[in-house]
Structure 1
Amino acid sequence: MNLLIILLMISGFWCSSEVENTSAGSPEIIEVGNEQRIVFIAGFDEGDNRYYDQARNYFQSAGYPIVDSLYSLAEIVDWLNDRKDTAAFAEIHIVSHSNPWRGMSLKISPLGARITEDAIRSAQADGELPTLKKGISGRTKVIFHACGLGNNIELIEQLKFALTAKAPPQVFASPWYSIFSEGAAGHYLSRVYYVQYPTAHSPGPAALAQELAGKYPDVDINWREAMKTHAPVFPGQISYYRFNIPVEWTFDFADPSDMPQLKNAEEIMDWVVEQDEITRVLYTFKIPLEKFRWRTKTDGLQLTILAKTTVVCILQPIMQPEDPTEFSYPDIHDPALFAKR
């Protein structure tokens, strides 16, 4: 029996934005004082989430030069190596979607896998990543704007290694969700709380609110009220959004008698837990089997198992302690807001 695993993610819903914004151009590198800085917008928007557009608008309005045509770490390294200027950047910002289940949407290489701990480790061992030769020094600050990346210290360390020339840079990433908006804040961070349910089988707001209350007993949030607000209308308002995680496993059988006849979700789950390859993948998700919707389809001697879960995210903006009507500035040097390696 052969197995093919297909992991699909609606990347446009990994991180969040507010209010649609038009895209901007990509200016040449410019000097900022006596130092240089650059922003890599490492993705493009899909659907109605304008995360990358809003990030581009935010950094451009602040005077940062922008590169928005590179969607992999290898391309960014090559871009740095190909520059005629040998001076190191003072700041490098990399904007990418990210979430706890599938890592970053930034790829290893143009045709490679998305960046995860395993993927980047394998790429470095196989020589898929080029060696950085210049553009980054021990004084360079590399800031990743990737939701929740600051919780994954191992991955940050691997990214730091991949972006090291003669000396390792200082790497910053927030454990919170990064939100870019068209409002006065421009950029702020949000705490995030999750709950899942089988796609198209929501238990309803009351049940989800009850589950959130049980999962986060020390968090003072009106969960039911939060699920009524999709787009915040005032600073600090708690809101929600949803996205799906679909997964497919395809098995090839040599004989029809070997193919299991799975009639319902319970039978599918019973069979799935006996497949080591599948359980290893699901273990990394840390989402219970019953939170997925399970289906099958067959094509000759090929069996495909389809699972899909819907993730509900509650976003709580981080506000200034002394003024709860003002967003807290996302200061990379604040250890409560950013991890540093």
Structure 2
Amino acid sequence: MKKVIRTIGMTLALLMLIGQFTSCNNAKKAENATKKEEKTATNIIKKEEKVVHRSPIVFITGYDKKDDNFYTGARTFFKDKNFQIIEDAYSLEEIIEWLNTNATSNPYGEVHIVNKTNPWLGMNLETVVNGKKITSESLQESINEGNIPTLKNVITNDTKIIFHANQLAKNTALINNLKSTFITDKTPQIIASPYYNIFGGEFTNHYLAEPFYVFYPTANSPGKVDLSKEIARKYPNEKEVEWFAALTNEKERYVGEPYTLQYNVPIKLELDYHNSDNDIPSFTMEEEVMDWIANDEDLANKVRELNIPVEKFRWTWKVKNSKLTLKGMSTVLCVLKPITKPYGDLEHVKPDTTNKRLYAMK
């Protein structure tokens, strides 16, 4: 009898173990099935979330003056690419408003902004309609005052805002302020070059050029010979440019030939002595003005911000009531060396915005 009971007990125990094993096995199968379903559902969602961006658009933010063809060349270049071109937007406010107003279910992919920027004076683009030209300071001021419209959710993290503006990538403060105006719940890529953008060239519609600078007080040029010696001393490692020839050359006559652009950089310093115990200084010559600026830390810093020596300005001064106004004007000679391929046939390097040697991506 005891043997029978023992046998029955062992059988029951075995049956329980089999049941537990089967239950665990079924649970594991159910768990795997659930994971498989979740993975399938995730893949479906990912496929559904695949974003289709709009075709590239281009803002031509200025117009040509006199014999210049920068904007005309840019218009032709992007028209040949079949990019959508937007004209008559001459401020950041108008650009953002256009992006908001013309939004579709597809977010913007590439937004090109063409602007002929002066590296010393900032962008030739207004902050708001009829507002100040964009510099890092004027844009920050407009942002603080809430004058720049907010961009709607019309972009993704893959959207590229590409600025075709001279040496903009070197102005980190301005790049950061521009980026802040385009951020939504997504953060687009801001792309700009440390080089000059040339549109409408004789041999290529769009290429980049490396700049070299020399300055003199406006209307007081020491002559091209002395200037060529000065710029050679300033850039001793640049052996490929014949400086005198470049300074006397106004355009690229063959592919890669250096040439010179000329423009003026003004500065204005105002001091009010109405509530001051100091007397208004009296000057008889420019040298006295330059010495006085050099000995005033605030004024010296303002001049230094332009990265142009104080002696490279032609200074004038005026006193009206209790206000002293100093005005300086410097002429910039910018030698441009087109960026060409270092091997093979002589031709310009293609301005590829994905090339980190040519463009900075912020």
TM-score between both structures, scaled by the size of structure 1? 0.84
The structure whose Rg is larger is 2
Deviations 1:43-90, CA, capped at 9 Å, x for gaps: 222333221222122212321221121111122111111225242111
> Equivalent residue for 2:120?
101
Distance 1:303 1:310 in 2: 24
Shift in Å at residue 156 of structure 1?
A: 2.0
Compute the displacement of 1:34 (Å): 6.9
- Residue 280 and residue 34 in structure 1: after superposition, are their counterparts in 2 closer, same or farther (change >3 A)? closer
Instruction: State the aligned residue count.
Output: 309
Q: Which residue, out of 136, 152, 160, partners 2:155?
A: 136
Q: Which residue of 2 aligns with 1:43?
A: 62
Instruction: Provide the residue aligned with 1:329 in structure 2.
Output: 350
Give the aligned partner of residue 293 of structure 2. 272
Match in the other structure for 1:16: none
Residue by residue, what CA displacement relative to the aligned partner does 1:242-286 show, whole Å, maximum 9, x if unpaired? 11112233444449x933221100111123234455333212101
Structure of higher RCO (CA pairs closer than 8 Å, 6+ residues apart): 1
Aligned residue identity for 2:309: P
* 2-structure distance, mates of 1:239, 1:84: 42
Change (3 A) 1:105 1:281: farther
Instruction: Pick the aligned partner of 2:359 from 320, 338, 341.
Output: 338
Relative to the length of structure 2, the TM-score reads 0.79
SS in 1 for 2:269: strand
Say if 2:203 and 2:255, in contact at 8 Å, map to a contact too.
no
Residues of 2 paired with 1:215 and 1:84: CA distance? 49
Letter in 2 for 1:83: N
Q: 1:245: which partner in 2? A: 265
Matched, 1:114 2:133: yes
1:162, distance to aligned residue in structure 2 (A) = 1.1
Aligned residue for 1:19? none
Residues 106, 238 of structure 1: alpha-carbon distance in 2 compared, 3 angstrom cutoff: same
Change (3 A) 1:199 1:127: same
Structure 2 residue aligned with 1:232 = 252
1:113 to partner: Cα distance: 2.6
Q: Does 1:258 align with 2:279?
A: yes
Question: What amino acid does structure 2 have at the position aligned with 1:140?
Answer: T
CA shift for structure 1 position 210: 1.0
Report the counterpart of residue 22 of structure 1 in structure 2: none
Residue of structure 1 in register with 2:211 after alignment? 192
What is the rounded CA distance, in whole Å, between the counterparts of 1:329 and 1:77 in structure 2?
A: 29
Q: Which residue of 2 aligns with 1:178?
A: 197
More strand as a share of residues? 1
Deviation, 1:324, is 5.4
2:103–2:154 CA contact under 8 A, matched in 1: no
Say yes or no: does 1:209 pair with 2:228.
Answer: yes
Aligned to 1:312: 333
Contact preservation (8 Å) 2:54, 2:106: no
Q: Quote the residue 2:38 is aligned against.
A: none
> Which residue does 2:3 correspond to in 1?
none
Amino acid at match of 1:150: A
CA distance in 2, matches of 1:245, 1:100: 10
Q: Comparing 51-60 with 119-128, which one deviates more in the overlay?
A: 119-128
**For structure 1, which segment, 269-278 or 69-78, has the greater mean C-alpha deviation from structure 2 after superposition?**
269-278
Q: Distance in 2 between the 1:153 and 1:321 partners?
A: 29
Letter in 1 for 2:221: S
> What percent of counterpart residues are identical?
36
- Provide Cα deviations, 1:157-203, integer angstroms capped at 9, x if missing partner: 32222112221112210110000015441100000100101111111
Q: CA deviation at 1:320?
A: 1.2
How well do the aligned residues superpose, as a CA RMSD in angstroms? Answer: 2.2
Contact 2:53–2:108 (8 Å) recurs in 1: no
User: Structure 2 CA distance, aligned partners of 1:275 and 1:113?
Assistant: 28
The 1:48/1:302 distance shift into structure 2, 3 A limit, reads farther
Aligned to 1:15: none
Worse-superposed segment, 189-198 or 159-168: 159-168
Q: Any idea what SS the aligned residue of 2:142 has? A: helix
Secondary structure of 1:111 counterpart: coil
Amino acid in structure 1 at the alignment position of 2:145: D
Match of 1:127, as an amino acid?
G
Q: One-letter code of the match for 1:144?
A: F
Q: CA deviation at 1:335?
A: 0.9
